């Protein structure tokens, strides 16, 4: 198994930390992992992305041009990465702020309205965990137990009291994600 | 087994330095390697192992602090990225001349000049051919993973003290910024004053009545003595070339074409090889682990097996000169690489192999 993922959105949406939690979850599941952030001028302009690879084998290139899965949190990232999903691959996006929706017919497209849901739950800070939950519902690359262990490893001790809320957010994401018809 | 962590390459260098019993880190922040000093400032090893961590007023000050610490037999290191490493060249040349062991990590970014903050491998010439003035070489280690970023700290110091010479870890923004699993070694205590006197009898540790003064200098105005010193240095570099070459061969057994790539490009080459083999192209990879000394013999041997060699570097083609010097037949040796902070993709690397070597 090798899963090559791009997570992309605005800086501050928790893109990099979602990737980190996913990578830690992979470690808990005894997978090989890599996490490669954008750190260049694009990031300083407000967008952030991270490539996460989970694999049973030694990982070669941490930099890719096409992905099994794209997790997309804003319009710029959708415009940039929709075309980078491998045929048959998976695209998950949050509809918040999206005016041009994905159009490809040769990939599986799912929508998770995590920003709205986070607002309703009053859990804006863990919006990214709702997205992660949605992804894990569609593609359970790591088991939920290992995600919780990954959270414990990646969050500093002072945030450990927030783990139940994170777990709740993941569960909620699993419930609200839905396939976009016609994809 | 040691502790397993998910870390950035830069953080791995810093943590490995604490665990290797390093006495002092002197640095100055620059993207994409600032996490080295940031990590050390958070971990505060000066409160645990006693390791000094100091942000100097400049890169030049930092390398000269390394000179001072190394002269007294301490394990001292610095790190920077390309423009900062250029500033350190005078100090590095002085340390090579004065035969001082130290570790310098260069997390390379695109150049020339201030360039960009994105990854590059365009400092190969500077690292392997001198960089500073005079006839000298550093031992240059090229990590291709976060694990090797950690492992090459203690390995670098072992080599530095074995040969009394500066050692460089030559990585780039990709290996520095990415996170991977790393297994950390156990803590090695810092050397005691007694151990330093025993291990490095040349060091300026305070003159007892029982020996002559130890003098650390790169200056000798007598040209004949200076020539003697140069001959001695060259003898040392020859020994390093004979004994310390390290490389890795990946899928070379049946290879008809060969990539030569180090560091992050070697990772990209491995993916390109996988993509190529899906199309029936039998390519392999020779990954130099030491760039100085360069694995010339291994490349010469493989050149008798393959039909062509592609040097993959994020530069205009620097290592290719050493590859061409290693190959004495009419072998097709070409270069491919993006520049200025752009990272070539595995697909681009494979396409270059097909166009420049197989079809060319």
Q: Which residue of chain A has the CA closest to B263?
A: A61
Query: Between A127-138 and A163-176, two packed helices, what is the crossing angle to 10 degrees?
Result: 50
pLDDT more than 90, % of chain A: 82
Give the ipTM.
0.91
Contacts across the A-B interface (CB distance below 8 Å)? 70
Q: What is the pLDDT of residue B8?
A: 97
Q: Give me the residue spans of the domains in chain A.
A: 2-179
Q: What does the radius of gyration of chain B's CA atoms come to, in whole angstroms?
A: 21
- Torsion angle in degrees (nearest 10) through CA of B75, B80, B86, B89: 0
Domains of chain B: 3-193 (3.40.50.970), 247-358 (3.40.50.920)
Residues of B in contact with A61 (CB under 8 A): 267-268, 270-272, 345-346
pLDDT more than 70, % of chain A: 96
User: In this complex, which of A24, A27, A60 lies closest to B274 when CB atoms are compared?
Assistant: A60
Q: Which residue of chain A has the CA closest to B264?
A: A61
Identify the weakest region by mean pLDDT among A3-12, A106-115, A149-158, A162-171: A149-158
- The pLDDT tens digits for B113-146 are 999 999 999 999 999 998 999 999 999 999 999 9
- What are the start-end ranges of the H helices in chain B? 9-19, 35-43, 59-71, 82-87, 89-97, 124-129, 146-163, 173-177, 193-199, 223-243, 263-278, 296-303, 319-326, 346-352
Residues of B in contact with A20 (CB under 8 A): 6, 179
Q: Which residue of chain A has the CA closest to B116?
A: A40
Q: What is the pLDDT of residue A11?
A: 83
Average pLDDT of the residues of chain A:
92
CB B285 within 8 A of CB B319: no
User: In this complex, which of B32, B267, B274 lies closest to A39 when CB atoms are compared?
Assistant: B32
User: In this complex, which of A23, A59, A60 lies closest to B6 when CB atoms are compared?
Assistant: A23
- The pLDDT tens digits for A30-88 are 999 999 998 766 555 578 999 999 999 999 999 999 999 999 999 999 999 999 999 99
User: In this complex, which of B4, B181, B347 lies closest to A65 when CB atoms are compared?
Assistant: B347
The nearest CA of chain B is from the CA of A122 a distance in Å of: 31
The verdict on a CB contact (< 8 Å) between A34 and B343 is no
Q: What is the pLDDT of residue B1?
A: 61
Q: Which residue of chain B has the CA closest to A42?
A: B118
Q: What is the pLDDT of residue B64?
A: 98
The list of chain B residues with pLDDT below 50 reads none
The reply to whether CATH 3.40.920.10 applies to domain A2-179 is yes
Quick one: average pLDDT of A22-26?
A: 96
The verdict on a CB contact (< 8 Å) between A60 and B268 is yes
Is the predicted pLDDT of residue A139 greater than 80, yes or no? yes
The verdict on a CB contact (< 8 Å) between B178 and A59 is no
CA triple B36-A48-B121, angle to 5 deg: 50
Q: Count CA atoms closer than 13 A to A143's CA, side-chain side.
A: 7
Interface test with A, best of B32, B121, B181 (most A CBs within 10 A): B181
The verdict on a CB contact (< 8 Å) between B271 and A60 is yes
Q: Band of the pLDDT at A126, cuts 50, 70, 90?
A: confident
Contact map slice: A 118-157 vs B, CB within 8 A: 153-154
The verdict on a CB contact (< 8 Å) between A35 and B117 is no
């Amino acid at each position: 198994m090798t899963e090559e993922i791009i997570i992309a959105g605005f800086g501050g949406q928790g893109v990099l930390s979602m990737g980190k939690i996913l990578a830690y979850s992979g470690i808990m599941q005894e997978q090989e992992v890599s996490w490669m952030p954008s750190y260049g001028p694009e990031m300083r302009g407000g967008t952030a992305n991270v490539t996460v690879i989970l694999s049973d084998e030694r990982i070669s290139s941490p930099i890719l041009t096409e992905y099994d899965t794209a997790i997309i949190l804003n319009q710029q990232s959708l415009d940039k990465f929709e075309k980078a999903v491998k045929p048959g691959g998976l695209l998950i996006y949050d509809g918040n702020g999206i005016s041009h929706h994905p159009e490809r017919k040769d990939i599986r497209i799912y929508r998770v309205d995590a920003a709205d849901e986070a607002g309703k739950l009053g859990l804006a800070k863990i919006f990214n965990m709702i997205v992660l939950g949605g992804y894990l519902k569609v593609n359970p690359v790591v088991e939920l137990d290992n995600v919780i262990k990954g959270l414990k490893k990646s969050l500093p001790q002072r945030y450990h009291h927030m783990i139940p809320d994170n777990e709740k957010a993941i569960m909620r994401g699993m419930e609200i994600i839905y396939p976009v018809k016609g994809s | 087994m040691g502790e397993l962590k998910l870390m950035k390459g830069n953080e791995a260098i810093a943590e490995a330095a604490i665990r290797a019993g390093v006495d002092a880190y002197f640095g100055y922040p620059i993207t994409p390697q600032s996490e080295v000093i940031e990590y050390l400032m958070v971990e505060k090893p000066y409160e645990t192992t006693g390791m000094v961590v100091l942000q100097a007023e400049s890169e030049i000050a930092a390398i000269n602090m390394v000179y001072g610490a190394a002269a007294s037999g301490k394990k001292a290191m610095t790190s920077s990225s390309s423009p900062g490493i250029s500033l350190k060249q005078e100090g590095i040349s002085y340390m090579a001349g004065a035969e001082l062991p130290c570790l310098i990590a260069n997390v390379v970014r695109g150049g020339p000049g201030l360039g960009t903050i994105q990854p590059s491998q365009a400092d190969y010439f500077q690292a392997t051919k001198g960089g500073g003035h005079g006839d000298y070489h550093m031992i240059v280690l090229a990590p291709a993973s976060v694990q090797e970023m950690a492992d090459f700290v203690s390995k670098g110091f072992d080599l530095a003290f074995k040969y009394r010479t500066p050692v460089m870890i030559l990585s780039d923004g990709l290996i520095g910024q990415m996170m991977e699993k790393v297994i950390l070694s156990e803590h090695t205590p810092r050397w005691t004053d007694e151990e330093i006197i025993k291990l490095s009898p040349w060091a300026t540790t305070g003159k007892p009545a029982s020996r002559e003064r130890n003098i650390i200098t790169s200056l000798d105005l007598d040209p004949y003595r200076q020539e003697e010193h140069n001959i001695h240095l060259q003898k040392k570099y020859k020994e390093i070339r004979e004994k310390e070459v390290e490389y890795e061969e990946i899928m070379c057994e049946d290879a008809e074409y060969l990539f030569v790539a180090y560091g992050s490009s070697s990772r990209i080459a491995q993916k390109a090889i996988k993509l190529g083999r899906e199309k029936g192209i039998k390519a392999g990879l020779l990954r130099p682990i030491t760039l100085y000394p360069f694995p010339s013999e291994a490349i010469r041997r493989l050149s008798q097996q393959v039909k062509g060699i592609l040097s993959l570097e994020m530069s205009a083609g620097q290592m290719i000169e050493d590859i061409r010097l290693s190959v004495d037949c009419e072998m097709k040796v070409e270069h491919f690489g993006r520049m200025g902070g752009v990272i070539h993709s595995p697909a681009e690397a494979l396409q270059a192999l097909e166009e420049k070597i197989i079809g060319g």
